[in-house]
Structure 1
Amino acid sequence: MLNLKRKQIIFMCLCFALVFNGFAMTGLAAPKSKAADVPTSVVNWNEELQNVDGFGGSFAFHKAGSVMRLEEPVRSQLLDMIFNQENGIGMSIVRNTVGDGGTWGNTFYDGPAETIMPEPGVFVWDDPEWETKKHGFDKYQIWLMNEAKERGVTTFMSSVWSPPAWMKENESVISSGSGGPANKLRKDMYQEFADYLAEYVLGYKEHFDIDINYISPTNEPDHTGGYSSSLWTPGELNTFVRDYLGPTFEERNVPAQIVLGEGMGFTEYFALDALKDPITVDYVDVVAAHAYLDLQADGTMPKADAFEKSNQLGKTIWQTEYMNQGTSRQTYQHNTITDGMRYANLIGNMFDVTGVSAYFWWWPVANNGADGSDLIRLVNDGSNQGVAATENGLFRVFKRYYSFGNYSRFIQPGYVMIGADKHPTDDVMVTAYKEPDTDNFTVVTVNNSEEDQTITFDLKDFPTGTKAVVPYRTSGSENLKKLDDIQVTDGTFTMELRGTSVTSFIPKQFELPALPDMKDVFSTYLAEENDGQTPGLQVKESSDGTTMLTNIRNNSYVKYDNVNFADGTANGQADYRGILSMNARVSSMEGGTIEVRLGNPDTGKVVGTMDVPKGNAPDTWFKVSTMLDTNQEDGAYGFHDVYLVFKNDNSKNIRMFNVDYFEFSDGDM
């Protein structure tokens, strides 16, 4: 007799056959298989949203000087990494500061903040020796703008941190402290200040051949402190723009557009009075804000009604400054993919929820004392990594540089955001953009799940001719990595999105080259994704579902090319200078060691050794660690090829190790 289990199986098969035949007899479609139930995001070419003005960053407080002082080829390399679309992230807007003639404080910069009008009625270009002196005037910002122009940048914005001291109530560009005169522009200087800004725009064109396309009369009107600042109320800004700045720009044919707001919080608050005024509203070209306040709790989502009036009026909205502010944001973890994902989500949400047309980082490249300020941080020779120290030519690239680049490199001025099903499944975000003049497009996906997720993209009403797309991915182990083409069939394509990753898709006919290979201490190094290995090593799936590299024996190695250790520091805080560890997830029946060698698997300097204990089973996993020697002479300092060499004194040379991944940290496991 058949046992009960076999009877149940036969009964189920008969039922399935009857159901399937029933569908066939009635003309109904059979139920879809799981393979057909792939979540789909429909991307609609004809659903046009806001225009895109670009992605930018600031070099205020003379941060351009930190780049200018570098020697070649590092200087050009960094400029290309920021502005070049071929081998960098293609930033398309530069934000400057309008010099005020005062001191900004040693915290931020070195040297004077040159102003075009150091005293009433006197412009610097009125000096009889101007032609000799002008080459040193505002030299860092002007040099930077010219370098950006050579790399295709055509949009320049200048913001005022403070009017010149002689225009202000407290006669200073900074706060005078409590009880003193207000840190504000004098009411009787409104016209003088409007003329000043007009002369700034016209003068930079005449004397430096630089077009200042956008001018903002205030940076953070809600801040007063020990660096350049000036307080404004929304009503005062409305009066200034309506009665002075707008009419002055009209009368003198000043070509710059007026940007208004730039408060510390991501709202339209400081522009709202002007937007409600029937006269002023026509003078306001861009409503701008920073993002230090007023985001929702997790910091990746703007408030839906933060720019309600601006959206009603169809005003252009920009986010013009943000960074990782505060001590808690300077830890190692806030330089890794965790931080990169935060910004990938925030940028996509700002374009989708708020309708921004431009997104700015604070300092793209800088020498400073807080890593959270930068996408790329210049290393200096000071013991506290402070700004007073001199740049030494080394630099660190954080994961946020690459996730920012997932947008900025592929979405250039002239693009238009288009509609897309934003969340085809939980934890996946999709936004899309097109370039109408060329039929180029970019689809950006953010997979916030730790698990891989397969998504189909339905390109609705897209122009014909796109036969394939090229993905570029940033993940824990990848830095804007160019992946293999994906075929587009009947207007759709499907891809498995790696867990915790950002992927940008562009048409094959517009593909960009892979970025120059540069690794960092903020990435995870998957064992199977190495740049070279001993012959005979194999990739297999472990019992817990992870992919591992196996068949590793005594003296086997894996190699990773061009790892940037910079100054051997992983954590942004000064007391972690030179502290760097390396970890591995590994299993071994016999135990042994993993040597971290630089340059050569046999003769290279050993900068760390991980002790691997014996395991009771092949899939008994350990996390092992070693502190690294980061000395400047021959340690993990600067760029090196890295070899992980496996050692065991077992004379039988049996397969000893399985390894999942390697990673760096700041010494904490």
Structure 2
Amino acid sequence: MKSTFKKSLCTLLATVTMLSMLVVPPPPKVSAASDVTVNLSAQKQVIRGFGGINHPNWIGDLTAAQRETAFGNGANQLGFSILRISVDENKNNWYKELDTAKAAVAKGAIVFASPWNPPSSMTETFNRNGNTSAKRLKYNQYGAYAQHLNDFVTYMKNNGVNLYAISVQNEPDYAETWTWWTPAEVLNFMKNYAGSINCRVIAPESFQYLKNMSDPILNDSQALANMDILGAHLYGTQVNNFAYPLFKQKGAGKELWMTEVYYPNSNNNSANLWPEALEVAYHMHNALVEGDFQAYVWWYIRRQYSPMNEDGTISKRGDSMAQFSKFVRPGYVRVDATKNPNTNVYVSAYKGSNKAVIVAINKSTSAVSQRFVLQNGSASSVSPWTTDASRKVAAGSNINVSNGAFTAQLPALSVTTFVATLGSSKSSVTDAIYDIEVDPALAEEVLAQ
């Protein structure tokens, strides 16, 4: 080889090397360590739905357009199927709950209510760890308080809203500015008074899913008989405390709901930070898979840290929630799926209305090639919907299913929902979402239960 040629070749190689250093390659795709196996016959909990609270006494009512965004399930809508409202201590304020509640019901959503305080005439102050202004329900007013809750149920019914359930108390164990209840007081009410309430009863709505608040109910046959839904909040609750063996042992026929949270924080304008908003999807995954919750209910629907921005548009946190709420509809059942097939990949699966729904979260900064295997059910293709830094529940191209399996690319820092029509020769984007706004028969079934 001539020296002049060697010099030219070296110069060329050096130039290529420099250019390669200037051009940043895309993140490499990583093949998952194992397949995701979805066993459509291995059924877990029935899903009641997803939603949030509207609290017009504190932050103003949702507008008519915002109600459509929250409870509709078309394009640029959240598909929420649960509305939480408050039971104000002053009956003169109850009318404020009606407009949004009636709009939610018209869209097929269910409505439940939580009180923060009984009427002031029923409460008294007491000394709680040195705080002499702490408030509790008078012991001789438990019956009157049960009637107060009944009055709210009747008021809503007479105005077109049949409540699905009513709670005894919001966060009885975190009541610096509302009404305290001890575990023994909650037990007393549930055992001796809750049976007179003409609606499903939720208890105890501990702020941190502290089991000392609910264990006494589960361990008392009469109190348990009067409880229909065990409600819990997950503020600061570690994932390893999401499971509740005692509920699995004694809660047959009862429902398990996560009735309030915002996660990971309530910082100003945090609703649209990415990948922080991806943590919402991950938290929902853990609540459903590790906690076996049947409902996941956010705090304020519209707030600077919530699924809906203050201007009524859907935030990135809302996109994360919508990856579940738009596709996993009321009455669907969670089925067994490989929950963590690869580092930073988390998967859950559901079925209902002749559809299979798989929600896959990739918390890695690299894309992942993930193989999914369907057992005890068949489909010819799946329709993917993705939220990541630039996309908002965006439809992708259908992916063919071959021999009961398909492989999909999970973008870096993303959540993707795959929807398949079971036992069908095709699965279209239109079928995957717009026919699941609300199944009227299913809505009637849920509301009648």
2:301 to 364, 369, 379: 364
Following TM superposition, by how much is the alpha carbon of 1:331 offset from its aligned partner in structure 2, in angstroms?
A: 5.7
2:406 to 480, 493, 516: 493
Counterpart Cα distance in 1 of 2:296 and 2:144: 31
1:463-478 correspondence to structure 2 within 5 Å: 464=378, 466-478=379-391
Q: Deviations over 1:305-356 (max 9, x none)?
A: 4x22112224421111111476xx5266663222221111111111111110
2:375 to 454, 460, 468: 460
Following TM superposition, by how much is the alpha carbon of 1:62 offset from its aligned partner in structure 2, in angstroms?
A: 2.8
1:451 equivalent in alignment to 2:366: yes
1:430/1:179 CA distance change after superposition, 3 Å: closer
1:416 equivalent in alignment to 2:411: no
Following TM superposition, by how much is the alpha carbon of 1:263 offset from its aligned partner in structure 2, in angstroms?
A: 1.4
TM-score by length of 2: 0.82
1:302/1:479 CA distance change after superposition, 3 Å: farther
Following TM superposition, by how much is the alpha carbon of 1:285 offset from its aligned partner in structure 2, in angstroms?
A: 1.2
Residue 257 of structure 2 corresponds to which residue in structure 1? Answer: 318
Residue 511 of structure 1 corresponds to which residue in structure 2? Answer: 432
1:184-583 correspondence to structure 2 within 5 Å: 184-205=136-157, 207-226=158-177, 229-246=178-195, 248-249=196-197, 254=198, 256-295=199-238, 301-305=239-243, 307-314=244-251, 315-324=254-263, 329-330=266-267, 335-366=272-303, 371-372=304-305, 374-378=306-310, 394-395=311-312, 397-435=314-352, 438-462=353-377, 464=378, 466-507=379-420, 508-509=427-428, 510-512=431-433
Residue 103 of structure 2 corresponds to which residue in structure 1? Answer: 147
Following TM superposition, by how much is the alpha carbon of 1:37 offset from its aligned partner in structure 2, in angstroms?
A: 8.2
Letter in 1 for 2:138: R
Counterpart Cα distance in 1 of 2:191 and 2:59: 34
Following TM superposition, by how much is the alpha carbon of 1:67 offset from its aligned partner in structure 2, in angstroms?
A: 2.5
2:88 to 93, 96, 99: 99
Residue 74 of structure 2 corresponds to which residue in structure 1? Answer: 86
Q: Deviations over 1:15-48 (max 9, x none)?
A: xxxxxxxxxxxxxxxxxxx999873111001000
* Structure holding more helix per residue: 2
Following TM superposition, by how much is the alpha carbon of 1:422 offset from its aligned partner in structure 2, in angstroms?
A: 0.9
Counterpart Cα distance in 1 of 2:372 and 2:131: 61
Q: Deviations over 1:603-644 (max 9, x none)?
A: xxxxxxxxxxxxxxxxxxxxxxxxxxxxxxxxxxxxxxxxxx
Counterpart Cα distance in 1 of 2:220 and 2:161: 32
Counterpart Cα distance in 2 of 1:264 and 1:335: 25
Q: Deviations over 1:99-131 (max 9, x none)?
A: 102xxxxxxxxxxxxx16xxxxxxxxxxxxxxx
Contact 1:64 1:144 in 2 (8 A): no
Residue 423 of structure 2 corresponds to which residue in structure 1? Answer: none
Counterpart Cα distance in 2 of 1:99 and 1:35: 53
Letter in 2 for 1:405: A
Q: Deviations over 1:170-224 (max 9, x none)?
A: 39xxx9996545400000001111122122212321x202101111010010223
Letter in 2 for 1:138: W
1:49 equivalent in alignment to 2:44: yes
Counterpart Cα distance in 2 of 1:417 and 1:490: 23
Counterpart Cα distance in 2 of 1:59 and 1:349: 25
Counterpart Cα distance in 2 of 1:260 and 1:35: 45
1:145/1:492 CA distance change after superposition, 3 Å: same
Residue 131 of structure 1 corresponds to which residue in structure 2? Answer: none
Counterpart Cα distance in 2 of 1:35 and 1:325: 28
Counterpart Cα distance in 2 of 1:475 and 1:286: 34
Contact 2:30 2:368 in 1 (8 A): no
Following TM superposition, by how much is the alpha carbon of 1:440 offset from its aligned partner in structure 2, in angstroms?
A: 1.4
* Stretch moving more, 140-149 or 184-193: 140-149
1:170 to 118, 125, 128: 125
1:513/1:343 CA distance change after superposition, 3 Å: same
3-state SS in 1 of match to 2:246:
helix
3-state SS in 1 of match to 2:366:
coil
Q: Which runs of 5+ in 2 are unaligned?
A: 1-28, 421-426, 436-449
Letter in 2 for 1:217: V
Q: Deviations over 1:400-436 (max 9, x none)?
A: 110011011111110111000111221111100111x
3-state SS in 2 of match to 1:62:
helix
Counterpart Cα distance in 1 of 2:103 and 2:207: 29
Aligned residues: 396
1:323/1:272 CA distance change after superposition, 3 Å: same
Residue 533 of structure 1 corresponds to which residue in structure 2? Answer: none
Q: Which runs of 5+ in 1 are unaligned?
A: 1-33, 69-74, 102-114, 117-136, 296-300, 379-393, 515-669
- Structure index of larger Rg: 1
Contact 1:266 1:293 in 2 (8 A): no
Letter in 1 for 2:183: P
How large is the RMSD of aligned CA atoms in angstroms?
2.6
Counterpart Cα distance in 2 of 1:220 and 1:62: 18
Q: Deviations over 1:347-402 (max 9, x none)?
A: 11111111100000101124xxxx22x22232xxxxxxxxxxxxxxx455421110
Contact 1:221 1:231 in 2 (8 A): yes
Following TM superposition, by how much is the alpha carbon of 1:60 offset from its aligned partner in structure 2, in angstroms?
A: 2.1
Counterpart Cα distance in 1 of 2:346 and 2:204: 29
Counterpart Cα distance in 2 of 1:266 and 1:334: 24
Residue 19 of structure 2 corresponds to which residue in structure 1? Answer: none
3-state SS in 1 of match to 2:124:
coil
Contact 2:389 2:414 in 1 (8 A): yes
Contact 1:169 1:186 in 2 (8 A): yes
3-state SS in 1 of match to 2:180:
coil
TM-score by length of 1: 0.56
Counterpart Cα distance in 2 of 1:81 and 1:41: 33
Contact 1:163 1:185 in 2 (8 A): yes
Counterpart Cα distance in 2 of 1:161 and 1:423: 39
Letter in 1 for 2:267: Q
